[in-house]
Amino acid sequence: MSARRSLVWLGLTPEPEQELPAAVAALRAPSDGRPPRALVAAERRRVERLVLRGTQHGWLRYLSEVTDLVVRAAEGSAATDPRPARVAGEVVLDHHRMLIGLPGTAYARTATQRRDLERALARLHHVRHASRRDHTSHSDHTSHREPSQSEPGSTT
């Protein structure tokens, strides 16, 4: 590691290191359950390697890859669990917003990603609310009876 290498980007926030491995593993191997442990471990090693030995440029390239996964998930099937995409999207968006406080051009370079993440997160939150509304609406129709509706033969 060169003494000239800037490390200021490492001080932004620990959330990407903590939150992204499991969320990204789930996005890389979408399924109904949790991602395979081996995939989570591999993602964790990749993030650790980037943080310990990488550069800001390499880190931002990784976050760009994560952004692409989130955007694809937002455009994909509504049947897929949106939570990993929301977690990854929110973590990367928060990280990219904090870049404004660092010297250099990283904040400007991530403008398109911020825009794409904001749009993807809006879609992902809409999917969550729509599916909750559909579920609530369905259960309302199957389990709720209006007071004016009486059973045939009832005296009420």
**pTM of the shown model:** 0.76
**Whether 97 contacts 14, CB under 8 Å:** no
**How much of the chain, in percent, has pLDDT values that exceed 90?**
51
21, 47 in Cβ contact below 8 A?
A: yes
Q: Domain limits at 52? A: 12-129
Give me the pLDDT at residue 11, please. Answer: 58
End-to-end CA distance of the chain: 83
Query: Which CB contacts under 8 angstroms, 24+ apart, belong to 68-75?
Result: 69/24, 69/27, 69/28, 70/27, 70/117, 70/120, 70/121, 70/124, 71/116, 71/117, 71/119, 71/120, 73/27, 73/30, 73/120, 73/124, 74/119, 74/120, 74/121, 74/123, 74/124, 74/127, 75/120, 75/123
Mean pLDDT of the chain: 80
> Is 156 inside a domain boundary?
no
Task: Choose among 117, 57, 116, 75: nearest CA to 93.
Answer: 117
Residue 18 lies in a domain: yes
Establish if 43 belongs to a structural domain: yes
Decide if 145 is inside a domain. no
Say how many domains are in the chain.
Answer: 1
Domain membership flag for residue 147: no
16-56 pLDDT, tens per residue?
889 999 999 999 986 766 788 999 999 999 999 998 888 88
Confirm whether 71 is domain-assigned. Answer: yes
Contacts of residue 109, defined as CB under 8 A and 6 or more positions apart, other chains included, come to 60
- Calculate mean pLDDT across residues 74-100: 91
**For 124-151, how does the pLDDT look when each residue is reduced to its tens digit (9 = 90+)?**
988 655 555 444 444 444 433 334 444 4
The predicted structure's pLDDT at residue 93: 96
